[in-house]
Amino acid sequence: MNKIKIEEKNRFARFDREFLRQLGMFQKPRRFKTGVSERELLEDLERYKEFALKLGCEDAKVIPASMVSVDERLRMKCRISVCHHYNNCINCPPYSPTAEEMGKIIPRYKYALVIKRAVEPKDDFVDPKKEEDIARHYRKNMEVVGLLEAQAFSDGYYFAMGFGGGSCQHALCMMQPCSVLKGERCRFVLKARPAMEAVGIDVIDLASKLGWEVYPVRARPIPPEDFPCATTFGIVFVH
């Protein structure tokens, strides 16, 4: 599949610029911040939370960054058993930032916004034959993370950094070879972000602390109808 075709396939995932402005996003850039009051930061985080809900998230929460834990075993899960994105995508292990690196940068942030997106219908995730639908949900999740990160950046939070779920090689590049690993530019610079789990963030631990239910969907041979829900998550560390 050539580059144009891949981008065409991704077209339906995009939010229209006019729609984003109607939501109140991307109005005026603010100057970069080197210092910000707690009050201003929390007000901005609440705005981002509202944007997340307007962009279709089922829930979003502002959390202290210290609530996020990392565990190197999560990256090892990409290797055992071998995920087909392992070693094939710059945003996946072994290339993605390690839990050790994340353990150093997360304490530099005060707050983050965590998003939860319901997969509807849940069969899209539970049925392993629905690869295109799974990609579509991860793509949307990545797009929302990218937009929230971009909003925070345009508000002057120059360290804003987002992480999604799933591999961008699946969600965005439709399983085509990662162009970055070929020494070329990423096809989706503003959307492609590593999955939380690919950098060692313990998503299950975080979701549980936030009172969100998570199930091991696609854990065969449990019948799909036995799963109460399917969900994708994302996080944006803001400041």
Of residues 74 and 89, the one with the C-beta less far from ligand SF4: 89
DSSP classification of residue 201: B
Question: By CB under 6 A, is residue 188 in contact with ligand SF4?
Answer: yes
- Closest approach of Cβ 88 to ligand SF4, in Å? 8
76: its two tokens: 């090892």
Peptide bond into 81 cis (omega under 30): yes
Sign of CA dihedral 89, 95, 99, 103: negative
Taking CB under 6 A as the rule, which mask of x and - marks residues 20-59 in contact with ligand SF4?
Answer: ----------------------------------------
Q: Which residue has the tokens 């396939």?
A: 9
Report how many residues bind ligand SF4 under the rule CB under 6 A.
14
Q: What is the signed CA dihedral for 27, 162, 61, 225, rounded to 10 degrees? A: 120
- Closest approach of Cβ 35 to ligand SF4, in Å? 33
121: its two tokens: 């219908």
* Angular region, 40: left φ>0, alpha ψ -120 to 50, beta rest: alpha
Of residues 154 and 179, the one with the C-beta less far from ligand SF4: 179
Residues numbered 145-174 forming contacts with ligand SF4, rule: CB under 6 A? 168-169, 172-173
Q: Which residue has the tokens 């360290």?
A: 159
41, 42, 62, 186: residue in contact with ligand SF4 (rule CB under 6 A):
186
15, 179, 204, 205: residue in contact with ligand SF4 (rule CB under 6 A):
179
DSSP classification of residue 14: P
Residues numbered 67-126 forming contacts with ligand SF4, rule: CB under 6 A? 89-91
- Closest approach of Cβ 198 to ligand SF4, in Å? 11
Neighbours of 220 (CB within 10 A): 9
- Closest approach of Cβ 31 to ligand SF4, in Å? 30
Question: Which of these segments, 14-22, 95-103, 113-121, 181-189, binds ligand SF4 (CB under 6 A)?
Answer: 181-189
- Closest approach of Cβ 168 to ligand SF4, in Å? 3
Sequence-ordered strand ranges (E) for 51-202 = 59-64, 111-118, 161-163
Sheet with 59-64, edge to edge strand ranges = 59-64, 111-118, 231-237, 161-163
Bridge partners (DSSP) listed for residue 235: 114, 163
211: its two tokens: 């009172």
Of residues 41 and 90, the one with the C-beta less far from ligand SF4: 90
- Closest approach of Cβ 172 to ligand SF4, in Å? 4
Question: By CB under 6 A, is residue 135 in contact with ligand SF4?
Answer: no
Residues at the contact surface with ligand SF4, assessed by CB under 6 A? 89-91, 168-169, 172-173, 178-180, 186-188, 192
